[in-house]
């Protein structure tokens, strides 16, 4: 049942990102909404659950994006691994730090992309507009990343409680 939750969240985030937000010019510089989800998986979830979620979102995003296949999946893997390591030494799960964590995650994703563009010899990706785009994404991430992570956390808790309640009822009945 946990799988269903992660598939649904992944799908909803992709729908918002690719079909809903493009309809409003306000969100032109919106960041990759999957990043807060990956951070959430790294901070709050069991590693196996996290890997499952990131595999689904990474493969889906890779399949609908114009990026080289595997770019998003590997980016998410790195982000997930880094967050899991950070959890050991820093209190990244503290909700006051979450805006910074979201900002760092989005910045990390963009830096990783720039590294890949450099390796793939896509010099045209580096311009003042790229900087403006990254800056815009950072602002959005700091403002909305934490609420998004907390919303996912709350939905995940409710989902787990409901499933737990149903299974207890079943066992009693």
Q: Which is nearer to other proteins, 78 or 97 (CB)?
A: 78
Q: Using CB under 8 A, which residues numbered 73 to 112 contact other proteins?
A: 74, 78
4 binds other proteins, rule: CB under 8 A: no
CA–CA separation, 134 vs 112, rounded Å? Answer: 12
Closest CB 166 distance from other proteins, rounded Å: 26
Binding window for other proteins (CB under 8 A); candidates: 36-44, 45-53, 113-121, 138-146: 113-121
Q: Which residues contact 18 (CB under 8 A, 6 or more apart)?
A: 64
Q: Which residues contact 150 (CB under 8 A, 6 or more apart)?
A: 95, 98
At 91, is the secondary structure helix, strand, or coil? Answer: coil
32 binds other proteins, rule: CB under 8 A: yes
Q: Which is nearer to other proteins, 6 or 17 (CB)?
A: 17
Q: Which is nearer to other proteins, 66 or 173 (CB)?
A: 66
Find out whether 110 and 134 touch, Cβ atoms under 8 Å: yes
Q: Using CB under 8 A, which residues numbered 143 to 162 contact other proteins?
A: none
CA-based torsion, 81, 99, 54, 121: positive or negative: negative
Please report the DSSP string for 62-93 in residue order. HHHSSSPTTHHHHHHHHHHHHHHHHHHHS-TT
- Where does this chain bind other proteins (CB under 8 A)? 11, 14-20, 22-23, 25, 28-29, 32, 34, 59-72, 74, 78, 113, 116-117, 119-120, 122, 124-125, 127, 129-130, 133, 137
């Amino acid at each position: 049942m946990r799988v269903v939750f992660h598939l649904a969240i992944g799908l909803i985030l992709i729908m918002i990102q690719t079909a809903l937000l493009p309809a409003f010019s306000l969100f032109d510089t919106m960041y990759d909404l999957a990043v807060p989800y990956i951070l959430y998986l790294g901070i709050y979830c069991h590693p196996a659950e996290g890997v499952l979620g990131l595999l689904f979102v990474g493969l889906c995003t890779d399949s609908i994006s114009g990026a080289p296949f595997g770019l998003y999946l590997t980016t998410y893997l790195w982000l997930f691994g880094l967050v899991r390591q950070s959890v050991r030494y820093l209190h990244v799960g503290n909700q006051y730090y979450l805006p910074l964590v979201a900002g760092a995650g989005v910045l990390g994703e963009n830096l990783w992309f720039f590294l890949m563009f450099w390796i793939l010899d896509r010099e045209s990706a580096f311009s003042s507009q790229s900087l403006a785009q990254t800056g815009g994404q950072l602002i959005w991430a700091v403002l909305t990343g934490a609420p998004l992570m907390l919303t996912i956390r709350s939905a995940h808790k409710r989902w787990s409680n409901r499933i737990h309640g149903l299974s207890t009822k079943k066992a009693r009945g």
